[in-house]
Amino acid sequence: MVFNSVVFVVFFSIVYLLYWSVCQRNLKLQNFFIMVASYVFYGWWDWRFLLLIAFTSLCSWGCGYFIQKADNQPTAYKPSYRKILNISNIVLNLGILGIFKYFNFFVDSFVSAFASAGIFLNPRTLNIILPVGISFYTFQALSYSIDVYKRKIEATRDIVAFFAFVGFFPQLVAGPIERATNLLPQFYVKRNFNYDDISKGLKLILWGFFMKVAIADRLSVYVDSVYNNAAFHTGTSLALATLFFTFQVYCDFGGYSSIAIGCGRLLGFRCMTNFNRPFLAVSLNDFWKRWHISLTTWFRDYVYFPMGGNRGSTSRNYFNMMVTFLLSGIWHGANMTFVVWGGLSGLFQVIAKLFDTAKEKIWKKSSQSKSGILKRVFDTLFTFSIIAFSMVIFRSNNIDDAILIIKKIFQFKGALFTNNIDSIIYGSALIIILMISDILQETNSGVHYFLDSKNRGVRYATYLTLVLTILLIGVFDNSQFIYFQF
């Protein structure tokens, strides 16, 4: 079941009522109920995958438990024993992820490489379905065992709380990728009904549906019609479709994250922020601090820093950065487009570090002057342009399509495809509204200017406007979220 479906609305309503009426007085019952509800939610796609998430959870819980036990029992072999446990769990979980998500991709790539050399192979591939959200809950489970190994947190003996943490259904299939340091301790404390949580949660859900159904799914009508037939469209149409897709993926995933965080808030949990107005970023480094924050910080803490981060020579720093972005690209999916996108994003990040030095010689630093304002606008537009360009690779069905689309965009000629004129008009208008909202939040310390207004009339007018926009402009026959495939 997906968030923007009647089935989920019914499911969550039942969970919400039972959670606060039957389970409120007992912490263990609350956690057990969350675990059961999460497994029902995940099993709705395919009950067989419940064994997979249960096994992943059990392995990471067991790893943390025995690492902690080794710490409490002095032994000459403790350091190596702890390391063996940690590495074994990492290899096991990533091995499972690799088989389900990447086995056929690597086999096909291997065959293609040999074919280019005139050697033709006929290997076997696996006919398996990719489990929904496997990349998200695998990384979430791994972060726990790694943090226990690094002694950042204490291992939990409460297996029900841990299973509920890994399988927490609001953010199970598409994040945010929660850290045990943030979410797991919330399962140790009984949640109490709180009006402020309900109010904030409902606002987040409403805004999330606006981003997903009204903006992302409206834009997807035009994007899909152009990108899926790239050879028959002009550079003008492809440029507009690329612009639309850049906002589509933001609103699709940002909308999901907002709904997920809102649902968690309704149940008394505070999940981490996953998007922070990324298209107002003034540099690529700033962008990656605002975009898919839970994933970028995961790769930073568990890949980039362990490799050395920005310590050492400049060349070593650039190498660490490239490897991190390449792995991030591979994480997104078993397609060469994601590998190239990850590598290109890393290359842009390296170039941006070199460019920043030269750029500062041109623009004055003062944010109080007109040149400071001009610099901010230039930096924001420049950063957005780079991100939008990289989205061509991200969205293309294959590398050949990506090359064709880029060639046509740089030619930028031909008539605009206007068969979906309503999506062009509505999409453009809603993008403007979204950016105005983000700008107002940016200048208002992150507080939503309209949804959180102290004026009751403004708040209720905003609620009504968003609901009517979703119902009148929203697209309801595109229920899938883009990041579910990851």
Residues acting as catalytic residues: 332
Amino acid identity, position 311: R
d(C-alpha 83, C-alpha 255), whole Å:
39
Rg (CA), the chain: 24
Q: Where are the alpha helices (DSSP H) in 228-283?
A: 235-266
Q: Which of 277, 244, 243 is nearest to 258 (CA)?
A: 277
Cβ atoms of 99 and 131 closer than 8 Å: no
Q: Residue 117 has which token pair?
A: 């050399």
Query: If DSSP codes are grouped into helix, strand and coil, which group holds residue 339?
Result: helix
DSSP string, 227-242: HTTGGGS-HHHHHHHH
If one counts every other C-beta atom within 10 angstroms of the C-beta of residue 353, the result is: 17
Q: How far is it, in rounded angstroms, from Cα 343 to Cα 474?
A: 35
Q: 175 and 257 in contact (C-beta within 8 Å)?
A: yes
Query: Could you write out the DSSP letters of every residue in 143-180?
Result: HHHHHHHTTSSPPP--HHHHHHHHT-GGGTTT-----T
Tell me which residue has tokens 């904030």: 200
Q: Would you say the C-alpha torsion 405, 410, 412, 413 has a positive or negative sign?
A: negative
Secondary structure of residue 104 in the 3-state scheme: helix
Quick one: how many helices (H) and strands (E) in the chain? 17, 0
**57 and 39 Cβ atoms separated by less than 8 Å:** no
* Among the listed residues 452, 8, 369, the one whose alpha carbon sits nearest the alpha carbon of residue 200: 452
H helices present in 307-420, as ranges:
314-332, 336-362, 370-395, 399-411
Tokens of 194: 């709180």
- The rounded distance, in Å, linking the Cα atoms of 350 and 152 is 31
